[in-house]
Amino acid sequence: MRGLGELEAAIMGALWRSEGPLSVRGVRESMVYDRDIAYTTVMTVANILFHKGLLDRKKHGRAWVYWPRESHAEYTARVMGEVLETGPDPDATLLRFVERFSDEEMARLHHVFRQVRDRRGAGRARTSPTA
């Protein structure tokens, strides 16, 4: 599992912040990056991200417009899951990760568990046969 490079992260960040698809020019103008990057470099990296499956695109006139295939939260959760599974003992890794949480983070985690339980319960209620 390999994370995003610095330029890839800047491009993805611009697209995650956007309210719709962006052209390469729009991505370049929206990027938060510490130095000026050539249009062709942004175009090349956006194409790479498309081929990696992180972006979708379509032709808009002569240019491509890009948008993320998943939200930033979905991407982060997927990467966290991939990292968790790369270790020799995912249970121990998860335990060590959670042990680092502050009391506030533990409260947030309990809240998330309740949300997941409620969603799963609602999904089962919709699919269970009626009497």
Using CA atoms, how far apart are residues 58 and 22, in angstroms rounded to an integer?
10
| Statement to judge: residues 110 and 122 lie in one domain | yes
Closest CA to 57 of 42, 69, 72: 69
In the prediction, which pLDDT does 131 show? 47
Q: What is the overall mean pLDDT for the chain?
A: 93
| Statement to judge: residues 76 and 49 lie in one domain | no
* Percent of the chain predicted with pLDDT > 90: 85
Check pLDDT > 60 for residue 1. no
| Statement to judge: residues 62 and 83 lie in one domain | no
* Percent of the chain predicted with pLDDT > 70: 95
**Mean pLDDT on 48-60:** 97
In the prediction, which pLDDT does 3 show? 81
| Statement to judge: residues 60 and 30 lie in one domain | yes
| Statement to judge: residues 78 and 49 lie in one domain | no
Give the count of domains, the chain. Answer: 2
Q: Is residue 1 part of a domain?
A: no
| Statement to judge: residues 50 and 88 lie in one domain | no
| Statement to judge: residues 53 and 97 lie in one domain | no
pTM, whole model, 2 decimals? 0.80
Question: How many Cβ atoms are within 10 Å of 12's Cβ, its own excluded?
Answer: 22
What's the Cα-to-Cα distance from 6 to each of 2, 13, 31, 41, 96, rounded to whole Å? 12, 10, 11, 13, 28
pLDDT digits (tens, 9 = 90+) for 68-113: 999 999 999 999 999 998 889 999 999 999 999 999 999 999 999 9
| Statement to judge: residues 26 and 63 lie in one domain | yes
